[in-house]
Structure formats: structure tokens, C-alpha cells
Structure 1
Amino acid sequence: MFDGLQRISAPPTGSYGRGVHDDENTPALHGVRVLELGTLIAGPFCGRLLADHGADVVKVEAPDRPDPLRDWGQAELDGHHFFWTVHARGKRCITLDLRRPRGREVFLDLVEHADVVVESFRPGTLEKWGLGPDVLAERNPRLVLARVSGYGQTGPHSSRPGYASVAEAVSGMRHLNGFPGGPPPRAALSIGDSLAGMFAVQGVLTALWSRDRPGSDGRGQVVDVSLAESCLALLESTIPDYSATGLVRGPGGTRLDGLAPSNLYRCADDRWLIIAANQDTVFGRLCTAMGRPGLAEDPRFATHTARGRHQDDIDAIVADWAAGHDADALTALLESAGVVVGPVNTVADVVTDPQFRARDMLVPHRDEAIGRDVLGPGVVPKLSRTPGSVRWAGPPRPGTHTAEVLTELLGLDAAQLDALAAENVT
């Protein structure tokens, strides 16, 4: 199953330093240290993306409350789930109780050695523990603090807990999903969480550049990311459409209203293809491939705007034509004609896709919890000179790297580590 795929090794010893490296393939974020707080998806996804590009991400879990993500996921093997395998990859995991004064002291000592803290608690939690932005900045003025929450750190709803499903709904995103007249379904993924994690990475990198650019005062800042706002940011022209004309865009089913032909079409073998030929030049190629070049001159279909007005008509024509071909033959025909086309793949199709394999997007992770390799997604984006990599899968046990991190960064000896453990701080 893993033939020809890059194998991910165990974490290399001594690979976390912040010095200058001459190797041009050194990851882009080598030397950036991140302390990741919080649980579940959005904050940990941010940490995962930073780790993929070489940041030393130290995940902090409470000794008695490990991240619930360790037990999340649909599939199970020997009591183990695989959400954690992917989202904790490339990270070092320590346990530290921030609810205890000694735990907070140790954390503040770690902050002095960090560039970034990522947290995804409900707003006010860090402040309740005496670890608010002002306290962190006093210990490390260069620190970038990324705060991920349901609604942001301010505003009338800031104190509400937030999950991706609700964020997708209140932002207007969920209203656009599904079919007219039906209930608005969700994608079978935590889209709102992933969007927030990606925007958090954008904010972190922007803040690091602002801190370190020529002429800067070298100070960090707070990056405030809301799940709801991250979803809202993707709504394209829906807000100005409504503001200017009163149009409330609704769900379009398998198509996007006004873009045609660009839809899902059933083939003779009952497989589905996406055919996207809404651009004028591509539509002309589709008409030629269909053996009906005159359609491109038909006033109903000659322009993008005209096809949008007569979307049902052109969709019916393409659907009738596609129904007479098997999916593979139709794909080959349209690809040779320069028409955008693609199948609706299951994950079983994805893991055998030669394009994803060729670009290292299907990477074996050595999952020590089950003692075997499992596939996970590769690194996005691809950098030409300083590529990222999946260095190792998520550590199977909380606190795997506690002694290593506290010794390396704070110089604690064995007796001090034992004392922290005895006090239930780690």
C-alpha cells in the first residue's frame, strides 16, 4: 500500500535548535518555537501547519485532561483513532497544569524561549489563570499570541463557546449549502475549524514578519481569530450582492447559480463527473467535443452571462450528452479537448491517485499507538527551496517530551522534574 511513498521517521534527536543552518533545504520555519495550548481542531490545526514547515511546536496538555482529539475520529483500530495521528504530527508533547501556580510559573519560563503561543480556549480563560496578553508580553515582548475562539475576543458574543458547526451556520455559510427548499447540510468535515486554523497561521506569519522586518520595534502582537469570521470571510460576493440589490443568495444544489455549464453529471455507468466549462473559451471546446459547435454561437449560450440566464437549458443539454458515455471514456475525451473535468472521488480513489502520489500528498505516518504505518495527507503548500515535511506522527502518549523540553529549554535536572511530577504539575 505504501510502495513508492516517502516514509516518515521518528523524531530526530537534537533537531530543535534555533541556530543558522547552511542547508538550503532547511524548512522555512526552522528556528521558530511555538507553544500550543487548547484542544480539538482549530488551534491544533494551526500548530500542525506550522510544524509541517519546520517550527518547533511544543503542545501543552493538562496532566489530567489530555486533548480530546486523541479519541476523535470515525475509524477505530485497537481502541485508537487517527485524528490525533495527523493533527499532532511534528509536535513535541508535554504535560503542564496551568491551573496550578507552579505550572503557570513553568509556562512563563517557557514563554521566554518562544516566538508564538497558540491558544484556543474560550475568551477570558488565559486571563483567569493570570496568563493574559499583558502578562505574556511582559515576560517576552517579542511574543506573538494567536487566540482562536468561536466569535473573537471582543463583541457581545465573545463569551459564548463556539464549535465549527455553529460558526458555519451563523456566518451564513451553511445557508448556502444543500438544495433549495431542503435543510442546509454540513460537509462531513469540520470546515469552520480548519478555516480558523489556516487564518491563524496567516496571522502568525504576518505578525512574525511585522515583528522582524527592517525598522520594526521588534514587538509581537495578538492575533485574534474567530471561527465565525473565518467562515464569513469566504462568502465571496454574497454580502455586497445583498447590500447593493437585496439579493439573498440561497443554496444551489450541485451547481453555482449563474455559472454554466459547471455541474455534476451522471454518466452511462452511473458514475458522476464534474464538467466545468463556464468560461467562454472552454465552453467552445466543450461544444466541439460534443459535436455541436453551433451551440457556442447560440444567443442563449454565446456568453457567460447568457449561459447563466439559461442555466437549466444548457445543463440539460450537457447532462443528456454525458449520459451516453462511460465516465472514463468521457474524461479522456474532455481532457484531450481541453475541457475541465474530474471524477467525484472517494478516499479509496484518492489514495491511489497518481497525481497525489507524485506530489507526496499521501505520506506514511508511523503510528506508534498501533505499531504500524498509516497514510496521512502531505504538506501544503510546496516550497521550492525550503520544503516542509511530515517529520513524525502524533506522539501516542501525553507528556512524551516533557522531560526533554524542560531540560532543553529551562535546564531542569532530574530532581526538579521529579518534584514537578510529584506536585502533579506535569
Structure 2
Amino acid sequence: MTDAAAPPATGPLADLRVIEMGTLIAGPFCGQILGDFGAEVIKIEDPRVGDPMRQWGRSLPKGQSPWWPVIGRNKKSVGLDLRTPEGQAIARQLIASSDVVIENFRPGAMEKWGLSYESLAAENPKLIMARVSGFGQTGPYSQRAGYGLIGEAMGGLRYVTGEPDRPPARAGISIGDSLAAMHAVMGITMALHARERTGRGQVIDAALFESVLAVMENLVTEYDLTGYIRERSGSILPGIAPSNAYPCAGGDMILIGGNGDTVFARLAEAMGRPDLKTDPKFVSHAARGQNQAELDAIIADWTGGQKLDDLLALLEAKGVPASRVFRAPDMLEDPQYRAREAIVELPHPVFGKVKMQNAFPKLSATPGQVRWPGPALGQHTDEVLQSVLGLSAERVAELREKGVV
């Protein structure tokens, strides 16, 4: 399936043109979100190898990455060698007719190619440039290489993730990159709003480490005021109880959140232990936090002799938050996922069909939409260069012969 057969863009950003000039996750995920909500996202890629995400993944079914259909979705792929003067000139022309440009190269790369914001904005004053990098565009670390794991470490997330008696763990996904992309999207939408008043664009400087730091709650403030350094605590949050993963019969696990006073009272009733509600060790939020390990042991002893599905039904009936630990198969079978259309299925030219997460969040009047999966490398080069820049087919063929596109 190509985008020509896909539904037209109808989201809130359908009047925007975005040039994506980045690779891997942080910049491209930013473009993915904008594309999900209707923006025309023109992705510029090296015409020889493309974005490395085309080959990333634990496995490559049919020789292709299962990651690319997701992060490349709703985008048009244009092959363009930015290391050539002609490629840089074409990029400049595309940006001149666009609203937003996204880049996640090491600071200075755009300037080296003659594509600094100052020079681009001189031709297109309304241009918004989102610059995503490990450490930001300024400061003594700005020129360092910075992947997501480095941002997670510097932003404080890695230190508090994992079991207390083991080295720091990772989240299992590239959360630092994704947080930076989301902050870049927030910056873009804020800049678009400001542009309505001023008529001018601006630069969004989204650093990986700061994007992680932004979600670290009161970690810095608590240390500043009390000297306390938050440590790794495994599957719990110290002082918040009960809120943990508990064993079930058959080797399953159940997550239970019963730390509120009224919720804990309902959990105690469900357990057949109404005495826990009035026990001085568990009678209040503070008391339960102080006796967290003992309370978790009591709950684990109760859950360990019961089947997961039986526990879920009982706790739902009692109004106690609980869940299985979802994996991909659970997501595909779950009625809430189906009712919300949280997973969509799209035609794919190689895989036949491919399932992936939908566009979030849901907007009531102008919702996002996954219109097509990640395109083939350079699939839209001719279309974009001819329709946007007015180049002739002969000129595009000449550029292709030179290796520029």
C-alpha cells in the first residue's frame, strides 16, 4: 500500500508541512507524532542507505525491520545527499516552503551544511526548527555524542531504575529518545501558537538529558531540602503501599494498587482480612508505608494461592485497581484495546498486513490517524521534487544519475 491509496490527512496539523532531517528515534518519533495528526512529513534520507531504523530490530522478517513501519508511518521518503552542494540547495528550497524542520544531528552539522537556522529563517521567517540532541545546543557537553541511554543516565532515570542490590537497569524501551521527541513536539506546538501572534518562528532546543530530568518528579527538590537521594527500589515506591507486583498460582503475576485509605479498606475486605483495616500498622497511608515489606508479604501470601483471572475478577468487583502484566499477545486480545482501537492493522507491501499502536491522544473533533506504514526508501522523491519544487522529470533523473537523490 502506498500513501496514494491512503485516506487524506484530516488531523489538526493537516495544513502543515514538516521536513524531517534526522535518523534513529528521537527526531523521527517527533516526526511520527506530527504525521499522525495530519502534518505532511517529508523525510529526507541518505539515498543509498536510508535511516538505520530500516534495519533495526531483534529480527528482520522478510528482510525488513518491524520497527520501520511504525516510526516511518505517515511520512514521505525523499532520498537526498545532504553532503553535496546540490543536495543542500534542494533541502534549502524544501525548507523554504515548509513550516517546521526537525533535526537530531550533533550540534553544528546543520551549520556545516549551510543550513543554519539564521540562514533558513532569512528566507522563511515563519520557520520553526526543532533541534533534538543529547545535551542541547549550548554548554560544555554540547559537542559530545549522546544517545538515549546517556540522557537517561544524566537525567537521573537510570540510577533509580532496577533492584536495589543490582546495577541500574533500563526501561526496556528507548524512553530517553521518546521523551525528547515528545518534548520537541510540545515545543513545536507552542511555537506554532506563538507564531500566530508574532508571525515569526523560533528554535526548539530539546536535550535528551533535560527531557528525562523533566519527568523526575521531586528528585532534585527532595535532595535540596532534606539531603535524601532516591535509590533503586525494584517494583515498589518506598512508602507507597500496597503498590506492587504479587505472585499468583501457576507462575503469573498481578499488579495491585491499594495505597489509598478507602481502596485499601476494599482490598482488605476482598482478602477476607477486615482486621487489616484497623491494624495500627496498616490503618493509614503513613503506617502502611512504614510497614511496607510486612504488608506486601501478607498480600503475596494471599495472591499466591489463587489464579490470576479469579483475582482480577474479584478485585474488579471490589473496586481495587489491579492488572495483569501485559505483553503484546495480551494487548491484541484485550477488549479495552479493541473498544478503543488502540491497535490498528494496515496493508503492507511486503508483510501483507502489519499491526501497530494507533495515534494518541484521542481528539474528539480532529483525531489523528495512521494512514500508511513506513514507506520504501526514496518512494516519494519524484513526487515531492516535482510537485513542491517544480522540478522536471528530466532534472530529477539528472540528479539521480549524480547520486544526489
Does TM, normalized by the shorter one, top 0.5?
A: yes
The counterpart of 2:234, out of the listed 246, 250, 253, is 253
- Superposition map of 1:97-112 within 5 A: 97-112=81-96
Q: Separation in 2 of the partners of 1:42 and 1:219?
A: 25
Deviation for aligned residue 1:220: 0.4
- Superposition map of 1:141-180 within 5 A: 141-180=125-164
The counterpart of 2:257, out of the listed 276, 279, 303, is 276
The counterpart of 2:340, out of the listed 339, 344, 359, is 359
The counterpart of 1:33, out of the listed 4, 17, 23, is 17
1:410: which partner in 2? 389
CA contact (8 A) 2:24 2:51 kept: yes
What are the superposed Cα offsets for residues 147-196 of structure 1, whole Å, 9 maximum, x if unpaired?
00011101111101111112111221011111112111112211111111
CA contact (8 A) 1:10 1:391 kept: no
Deviation for aligned residue 1:117: 0.2
The counterpart of 1:399, out of the listed 361, 364, 378, is 378
What are the superposed Cα offsets for residues 39-81 of structure 1, whole Å, 9 maximum, x if unpaired?
0011000000110111100000122341111000112212111
The counterpart of 1:80, out of the listed 64, 76, 85, is 64
CA contact (8 A) 1:61 1:97 kept: yes
Q: Separation in 2 of the partners of 1:14 and 1:95?
A: 21
TM-score normalised to the size of structure 1?
A: 0.92
Q: Separation in 1 of the partners of 2:194 and 2:280?
A: 53
Q: Separation in 2 of the partners of 1:217 and 1:14?
A: 35
Deviation for aligned residue 1:121: 0.1
Q: Secondary structure at the match of 2:361?
A: coil
Is 1:425 aligned with 2:404?
yes
Deviation for aligned residue 1:269: 2.1
2:76: which partner in 1? 92
Is 1:298 aligned with 2:279?
yes
Is 1:330 aligned with 2:308?
no
The count of corresponding residues between Structure 1 and Structure 2 is 405
Is 1:389 aligned with 2:404?
no
What are the superposed Cα offsets for residues 116-146 of structure 1, whole Å, 9 maximum, x if unpaired?
0000100010011111110111111101100
The counterpart of 1:195, out of the listed 173, 179, 189, is 179
Give the aligned residue type for 2:164. P
CA contact (8 A) 2:2 2:375 kept: no
CA contact (8 A) 2:62 2:351 kept: no
TM-score normalised to the size of structure 2?
A: 0.97
Is 1:224 aligned with 2:216?
no
Q: Tell me the C-alpha RMSD between the 2 structures.
A: 1.5
What are the superposed Cα offsets for residues 21-48 of structure 1, whole Å, 9 maximum, x if unpaired?
xxxxx31111111000010011000000
Q: Could you say if the C-alpha distance between residues 209 and 385 of structure 1 is closer, same or farther in structure 2, counting changes exceeding 3 Å?
A: same
Q: Of Structure 1 and Structure 2, which has the larger fraction of its residues in helix?
A: 2
Q: Separation in 2 of the partners of 1:412 and 1:16?
A: 24
Deviation for aligned residue 1:15: 7.5
Q: Secondary structure at the match of 1:184?
A: coil
Q: Separation in 2 of the partners of 1:168 and 1:58?
A: 29
2:165: which partner in 1? 181
Q: Separation in 1 of the partners of 2:384 and 2:5?
A: 12
CA contact (8 A) 1:16 1:31 kept: no
**Which consecutive aligned stretches of 4+ in structure 1 deviate over 2 angstroms post-superposition?**
12-17
Q: Secondary structure at the match of 1:46?
A: helix
Unaligned runs of 5+ in 2: none
Q: Secondary structure at the match of 1:365?
A: strand
Q: Secondary structure at the match of 1:99?
A: coil
The counterpart of 2:352, out of the listed 347, 355, 372, is 372
What are the superposed Cα offsets for residues 320-341 of structure 1, whole Å, 9 maximum, x if unpaired?
1111211110110000000000
